[in-house]
C-alpha cells in the first residue's frame, strides 16, 4: 500500500465472499462474483476479464457505499433511487454476457455514472463524498506491523491521524514540563543565563504549537463524527501545527512590548504564554492583533490630521450666499446678497 489514502477494496452490501477451495473447479462466467472476487484471475476468459474491469467494479462499490450512508442519514426520501441501483447491479453483474448486447452494456455504464452523480449531489450539502466515507470507515483499515501501529495506528485514515496527534501532544507536553523543570533548577542557583534565555525564547513557540493542536482536535473530532473528514485535508493539518508555533512566537517576540507581554524576573510572564497559545489556536486572533497594532502605531508614524467638523447652519448659509453672489450678474441681486452677508 503506497499511502493511507489508498485503501483496500472491501465487500459492500450483503454479498458474501466465495473463496475457491483446493480441488474446486476454476472460476468461470457462471459462478464468478465480480463484486467480491478478483476479475484479473488468469482462469477467467478474456471476455470476462475485459467485461469486469477493476475500475468498472469500483464505481459500483462506490455507489453502494454512498447509498448506504444516504439511507443511514435519512437522505433517501423515496426508495426509487435504491431500486435503480439494485436493478443496475442485476444488469451489470448477474446477466450473462451472451444475453447482454453492447448497446445495453453502454446504457448500463451511463446509468452507473448518472446514479453516482445523483448520489454525490444528494450528499453534497453535508460535505460527504466517497473519500470522506472511506477515511472514517472501519472497512478500510491500514494494515501495519504492531510496532508501527503503536505510533501510526492501524485503523482508518482518520482514526490513524488522531493517533499521530496524540504522540505530538505527548511530545509537546514533555517539552513544556522539561522547560518548567529546568527553570526551577536555574532558580535554585544554577547560573545558566544563556540557556535560560533560550528556554524563555522557545516557550511561545511551544505554546503556539499546543494551541494549534487543541484547535485541530476540536475541528477534526467534529469532522470525524460527521464523516466529513477529507483525507487530502489531513496533510495541511501538519502545516497548521507548524504555523501555530511560528505565529505564537511572532506575537510574543515581535509585538510583545506593544501588547504588554513582557518577561519578569521570576520567569516567563503568564500573559506572554497566553498570547502565544491564542496565536497558535486562532488565526483570526493573530490577524486581529496585527490590525490593532497597526492602528496603534499608524498615527505615530504619520502627521496628525484633524478630522473635519460638520459646518454649522450659519456657516452653511454664508457659503451658499457667497456662491450665489459669484454666479449673479444682476447688480440689484448682488446688492441684496451683500446686505444679507453683512447681517450674518
Query: Grid coordinates in use for 196?
Result: 535560560
Residue 106 sits in which domain range?
11-126
d(CA 195, CA 124): 54
Same domain as 202, residue 82 = no
Predicted confidence (pLDDT) per residue in 67-101, tens digit: 999 988 888 877 888 999 988 888 887 877 677 78
Same domain as 169, residue 290 = yes
In a domain, 115, yes or no: yes
Q: In terms of pLDDT, which residue wins out, 19 or 179?
A: 179
Same domain as 68, residue 168 = no
* Residues 93/61, Cβ–Cβ less than 8 Å: no
At 201 the pLDDT is 84
Same domain as 100, residue 177 = no
d(CA 291, CA 283): 13
Same domain as 153, residue 121 = no
Same domain as 186, residue 281 = yes
For the chain, how big is the Rg over CA atoms in Å? 36
At 171 the pLDDT is 94
Q: In terms of pLDDT, which residue wins out, 116 or 194?
A: 116
Q: Average pLDDT over the chain, rounded to whole?
A: 76
Same domain as 239, residue 156 = yes
| 94-112 mean pLDDT | 82
* Residues 72/82, Cβ–Cβ less than 8 Å: no
Same domain as 177, residue 107 = no
pLDDT range class, residue 34, cuts 50, 70, 90: low
Same domain as 290, residue 160 = yes
In a domain, 225, yes or no: yes
Same domain as 193, residue 105 = no
Q: In terms of pLDDT, which residue wins out, 17 or 254?
A: 254
Same domain as 109, residue 48 = yes
- Total domains, the chain: 2
Backbone angles phi, psi at 269, to 5 degrees: -70, 145
In a domain, 214, yes or no: yes
At 165 the pLDDT is 93
Query: Grid coordinates in use for 143?
Result: 494494515
Predicted confidence (pLDDT) per residue in 116-167, tens digit: 999 998 888 788 889 899 998 888 888 888 888 888 888 889 999 999 999 9
Which range has the worst mean pLDDT, 78-82, 237-241, 293-297, 308-312?
308-312
* Residues 220/161, Cβ–Cβ less than 8 Å: yes
Element (H, E) at 284: helix 283-301
In a domain, 89, yes or no: yes
d(CA 137, CA 65): 10
Q: Categorise residue 260: left if φ over 0, alpha if ψ from -120 to 50, beta otherwise.
A: left
Q: In terms of pLDDT, which residue wins out, 176 or 35?
A: 176
Its pTM surpasses 0.75: no
pLDDT range class, residue 2, cuts 50, 70, 90: very low
In a domain, 208, yes or no: yes
Backbone angles phi, psi at 131, to 5 degrees: -70, -40
At 41 the pLDDT is 58
Closest CA to 323 of 308, 301, 304, 340: 340
In a domain, 314, yes or no: no
In a domain, 141, yes or no: no
How far is residue 110 from each of residues 44, 84, 91, measured CA to CA in Å?
Answer: 26, 13, 13
Element (H, E) at 92: helix 80-93
Query: Grid coordinates in use for 83?
Result: 431500486
Predicted confidence (pLDDT) per residue in 265-292, tens digit: 444 445 778 888 988 898 888 888 788 7
Same domain as 103, residue 67 = yes
Q: In terms of pLDDT, which residue wins out, 39 or 327?
A: 327
pLDDT range class, residue 35, cuts 50, 70, 90: low
At 285 the pLDDT is 82
In a domain, 182, yes or no: yes
User: Which of the listed residues 126, 160, 192 is the one where a domain comes to its end?
Assistant: 126
Beta-carbon neighbour count of residue 252 at 10 Å? Answer: 29
Beta-carbon neighbour count of residue 54 at 10 Å? Answer: 12
Beta-carbon neighbour count of residue 297 at 10 Å? Answer: 10
Amino acid at each position: 500500500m503506497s499511502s493511507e489514502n489508498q485503501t483496500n477494496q472491501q465487500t459492500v452490501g450483503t454479498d458474501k465472499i466465495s473463496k475457491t477451495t483446493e480441488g474446486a473447479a476454476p472460476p468461470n462466467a457462471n459462478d464468478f462474483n465480480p463484486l467480491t472476487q478478483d476479475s484479473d484471475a488468469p482462469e477467467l476468459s478474456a471476455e470476462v476479464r475485459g467485461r469486469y474491469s477493476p475500475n468498472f467494479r469500483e464505481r459500483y462499490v462506490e455507489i453502494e457505499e454512498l447509498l448506504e450512508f444516504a439511507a443511514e442519514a435519512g437522505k433517501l426520501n423515496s426508495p426509487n433511487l435504491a431500486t435503480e441501483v439494485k436493478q443496475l447491479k442485476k444488469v451489470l453483474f448477474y446477466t450473462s454476457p451472451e444475453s447482454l448486447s453492447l448497446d445495453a452494456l453502454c446504457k448500463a455504464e451511463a446509468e452507473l455514472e448518472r446514479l453516482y452523480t445523483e448520489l454525490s449531489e444528494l450528499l453534497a450539502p453535508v460535505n460527504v463524498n466517497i473519500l470522506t466515507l472511506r477515511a472514517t470507515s472501519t472497512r478500510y483499515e491500514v494494515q501495519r506491523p504492531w510496532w508501527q501501529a503503536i505510533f501510526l495506528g492501524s485503523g482508518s485514515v482518520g482514526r490513524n491521524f488522531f493517533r499521530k496527534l496524540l504522540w505530538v501532544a505527548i511530545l509537546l507536553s514533555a517539552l513544556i514540563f522539561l522547560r518548567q523543570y529546568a527553570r526551577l533548577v536555574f532558580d535554585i542557583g544554577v547560573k545558566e543565563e544563556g540557556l535560560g534565555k533560550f528556554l524563555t525564547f522557545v516557550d511561545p513557540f511551544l505554546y503556539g504549537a499546543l494551541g494549534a493542536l487543541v484547535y485541530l482536535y476540536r475541528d477534526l473530532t467534529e469532522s470525524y463524527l460527521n464523516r466529513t473528514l477529507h483525507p487530502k485535508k489531513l496533510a495541511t493539518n501538519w502545516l497548521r501545527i507548524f504555523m501555530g508555533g511560528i505565529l505564537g512566537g511572532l506575537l510574543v517576540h515581535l509585538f510583545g512590548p506593544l501588547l504588554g507581554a513582557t518577561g519578569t524576573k521570576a520567569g516567563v510572564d503568564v500573559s506572554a504564554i497566553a498570547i502565544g497559545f491564542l496565536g497558535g489556536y486562532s488565526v483570526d486572533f493573530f490577524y486581529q492583533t496585527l490590525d490593532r497594532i497597526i492602528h496603534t502605531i499608524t498615527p505615530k508614524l504619520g502627521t496628525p490630521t484633524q478630522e473635519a467638523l460638520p459646518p454649522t447652519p450659519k456657516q452653511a448659509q454664508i457659503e451658499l450666499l457667497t456662491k450665489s453672489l459669484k454666479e449673479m450678474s444682476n447688480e440689484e441681486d448682488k446688492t441684496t446678497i451683500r446686505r444679507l452677508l453683512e447681517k450674518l
